[in-house]
């Protein structure tokens, strides 16, 4: 996963814009139970959605992941 962001702001005192850049990168392994050819990703309004369908016959290992608020 990789993301980059560029933002430009104009100062009130001058007409020269200042630039700000941010980047994010993360990597993860994909389990063998996932159909790797059918993985899809969508990025919308700052949210990355991943779809990783399981192979037929793969065990259904549901779990709950707690999400904390900072």
**Predicted confidence (pLDDT) per residue in 10-40, tens digit:** 555 555 566 667 787 888 888 888 999 999 9
The encoded tokens of residue 28 equal: 């993860």
Q: How confident is the model at residue 1 (pLDDT cuts 50, 70, 90)?
A: low
Helix then strand then coil, in percent of the chain rounded to 5, is: 5, 45, 55
Q: Which pTM was predicted?
A: 0.49
3-state secondary structure of 3: strand
Q: How far apart are CA 70 and CA 66, in angstroms?
A: 13
């Amino acid at each position: 996963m990789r993301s980059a962001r560029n933002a430009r702001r104009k100062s009130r005192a001058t007409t020269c814009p200042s630039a700000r850049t941010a980047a994010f990168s993360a990597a993860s392994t994909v389990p063998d139970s996932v159909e790797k050819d059918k993985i899809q990703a969508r990025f919308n309004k700052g949210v990355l959605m991943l779809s990783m369908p399981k192979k037929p016959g793969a065990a259904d290992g549901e779990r709950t992941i707690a999400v904390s608020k900072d």
